[in-house]
Amino acid sequence: MRRRVTWRRSRPIHCVDYESPLILLLGALALGAAIFAGSYFVAQRTTVMCCANPADDLSWLREEFHLSDAEMTRIRKLHEGYQPQCAEMCAKIAAKKRELESVLGRGTNLTAEAQTNLAELAGLRAQCQAQMLRHFATVSQAMPPEQGRRYLAEMQKLTLGTHEQMESRMEGSGDTGHEHHP
């Protein structure tokens, strides 16, 4: 049995309601102002917190490991003593990288000179990592034992982590990144 569809005529629809768009507009403006004000105050607070002592690049250490003034003084001294060694090592690595790039830029083959430069660069990077790990061990000894162990573990992870992440990705997937794709 088929149903018969009948259309009923309803009342005419009046679409002109001037109050709704005005309320909607005022609501949107109020919401925008609230978001702006909230963002402004969060940005202000963040700026004050981050820039309270811009010269103190070790402030994170004090906060993270709850260090006393005396501990921070010892660590700051160690840090200041290590900075020239670090800068020197960075300069050596940068110079060796420039030398390697120059050698590699001269041709399309990997020459004996380029291989020597690669090995020397790898040696410098290994020296840098060892130097950093020695420094981190010394810093960890200037901290209370538990914080020192936690600090050293974190610094070891950061120092060695980049290469380990690449290696574990290659081991886990069988993908060495050396495949040739069409």
pLDDT tens digit sequence for 144-166: 999 999 999 999 998 888 666 65
CA angle (97 as vertex; 94, 98 as ends), nearest 5: 90
Query: pLDDT category, 181, cuts 50, 70, 90?
Result: very low
CB 136 within 8 A of CB 152: yes
- What is the identity of the amino acid at 25? L
Predicted structure pTM score: 0.60
More confident residue, 174 or 170: 170
What percent of the chain lies above the pLDDT cut of 70?
67
User: Residue 21's pLDDT is what?
Assistant: 76
